[in-house]
Structure 1
Amino acid sequence: MHRPLSPTVRRRRLATELRRLRESCELKLSTAAKQANVPASTLSNIETAEARRIKPRDIDALADLYQAPADAREALHELARESKEQGWWSKYKDVFGGNALPDFEVEASMIRTYEAQVIPGLLQTPAYSEAVFRGGRAYTESEVQRHVDARLQRQQILSRHDPPQIWAVIDEAALRRKIDNPGVMHEQLQHLLNIATRHNVDIQVLPFTAGMHAGLSGSFLILDFPAELDPSIVYTETATDSLFVQDAPSVQRFVTIFANLNSAALRAPHTVKFIRHIMESDDQHDDD
């Protein structure tokens, strides 16, 4: 399975390129818009990656103004065309809302995730995922299934020929959280052990013995991309909303937090032993 295109990533790259071309001509946005006969609001939306429908004639007008070479002009048109495409996640707007995490995951080269309460979504089994959504008692039966289906679709990136590097730090609380069916949790923990053997997956447990740590403010994901033109972003969510953090200083703060969590967490071999110990302990309790 080849890596699909992300329209949002394409819009971000187009925005960066057009802004770079404008600044290389030492033009203010209002001046460039006037000289290219493109509405200032349109150019602003393009440069902030908010424009979802970009007219070819606007691209040509801006390329003419900036005296962009033919290959650069064609690249701009290609980015504009690709920014209009829709991924599978567009069918799950009821699940992801306006901000679709898979829109970025499909092009990420590395995904670093810290989870404090549950197993990371990309590493969940279907039964465990269902238990998570049922546990909140916020969804109907059909909504639970929609959320589970969407989560399993997200996991398809792990089956590509060029899967992203997954680096997960999981709090011990997520591993010890009880659910109604102990067998489901046992299967989930075994799945973690199995998937940890993959060359592109690194899993670390952050034990209770680590004490107070840098991730106490909550779970988050850092997504890195293969092209330098696509800066890293951070994704966090609450019970009612999701947030993408894109400004460089804030992203760097999350990178620092993750580095601290990595240092506090168990190394891979000790993580495997730790998970096995939890499984064995749970099995003993089930026998009692």
Structure 2
Amino acid sequence: MRIPYSPTLRLRLLVSELKQGRERAKLTVSQAGKVLGWTASKISKIETTETRRITSGDLDKLMDLYKIDEPSKRLAMHALARDAKERGWWSKYREVFGEQALPDFEAEASVIRSFEGLVIPGLLQTPGYAEALFQGGRYTDAKDIAHRVDARMTRREILSRFNPVHLRVVMDEAALRRMIGNSSIMAEQVRHLLHMAKMPNIDVQVLPFSAGSHAALVAPFSILEFPENLALPIVHVDTVTDSVFFEQPKDVARYSATFGDIQGTALSTTQSARFIADVLASLESDG
């Protein structure tokens, strides 16, 4: 069974509680380490999440030292420690997602706001479209492509699970016009996009060519928001070589402002659905 949460976010929440506990106890990292007979480095690695697995015994020692005595609080922190040790389904796609896996954060996101300029957003792609997309890149090995397609399709489950993520997409018209694969593959993809755009948790807006210059003539990006008290929003930007995450509030604010600008420039969801339906009709006619 796939875990319905993010081990990374659970670990971050746990170490945040530990750090706050140390600070309330008015202890430095060195002082806490000295009392416990640990090196300062061990405490530091725990607080920076460099140490991903915190044993039950070590957690008890830290909570005792920081006087975190409330039974329910201690139980909750032990639960976080257990959750943090789990391996998500994305761990078997490490070569696809990299060390800091986007699905790890998507697993617990409540809202994802995404801009895409050239292709259909990954969460809304069909298997055929994704396969044709990868065939156009450097990953031409058939097994590698199949592995990547499987990873991308598995990501989509956050859209249909119980309490699904709310996905808000703004995409450039270019993503609809660029022929990926053939007209049959594109028609299937656009049909799927139109179907998903009707889902109550998914909003799709199109930025038509007629909009001219706009605020997001940059790399595609996604802003992930999480339930209250779990984590602050983060921004994900895909690059040629890696995934980049921005977590500083000022960076997130800049991307949020940009997304707000392009939402205002794009067609409404209703107008976008008509636009997408027209593109589909054209593809079916050509087919």
* Counterpart position of 2:48: 48
**Code of the aligned partner of 2:282:** S
After TM superposition, the structure 1 = structure 2 runs for residues 232-271 of structure 1, keeping only pairs within 5 Å, are 232-271=233-272
* Counterpart position of 1:80: 81
The Cα shift of 1:2 comes to 8.6
Structure 1 residues 77 and 170: alpha-carbon distance in aligned structure 2, compared to 1, 3 A threshold: same
* Counterpart position of 1:67: 67
* Counterpart position of 1:115: 116
DSSP-derived class of the 2:79 partner? helix
DSSP-derived class of the 2:215 partner? coil
**Code of the aligned partner of 2:137:** G
| RMSD across aligned positions (CA) | 1.8
Percent identity of paired positions between Structure 1 and Structure 2: 48
Structure 1 residues 35 and 249: alpha-carbon distance in aligned structure 2, compared to 1, 3 A threshold: farther
DSSP-derived class of the 1:59 partner? helix
* Counterpart position of 1:152: 153
The Cα shift of 1:224 comes to 1.0
Equivalent-residue separation in structure 2 for 1:242 and 1:34 (angstroms): 38
* Counterpart position of 1:11: 11
The Cα shift of 1:58 comes to 2.1
* Counterpart position of 1:105: 106
In structure 2, the gaps of 5 or more residues are none
In structure 1, the gaps of 5 or more residues are none
TM-score by length of 1: 0.93
* Counterpart position of 1:25: 25
After TM superposition, the structure 1 = structure 2 runs for residues 106-255 of structure 1, keeping only pairs within 5 Å, are 106-255=107-256
DSSP-derived class of the 2:241 partner? coil
Equivalent-residue separation in structure 2 for 1:271 and 1:260 (angstroms): 17
Equivalent-residue separation in structure 2 for 1:216 and 1:32 (angstroms): 49
Equivalent-residue separation in structure 2 for 1:217 and 1:36 (angstroms): 50
Equivalent-residue separation in structure 1 for 2:39 and 2:208 (angstroms): 55
Q: Is the 8 A contact 1:158 1:164 kept in 2?
A: yes
Q: Which whole-Å deviations, capped at 9, do the CAs of 1:99-158 have from their partners, x for residues lacking one? A: 211111111111111111111111001111111111113331110000000111111122
The Cα shift of 1:226 comes to 1.0
Deviates more, 1:47-56 or 1:163-172: 47-56
TM-score by length of 2: 0.94
Q: Which whole-Å deviations, capped at 9, do the CAs of 1:256-283 have from their partners, x for residues lacking one? A: 1111111111101110111122223344
The Cα shift of 1:3 comes to 6.5
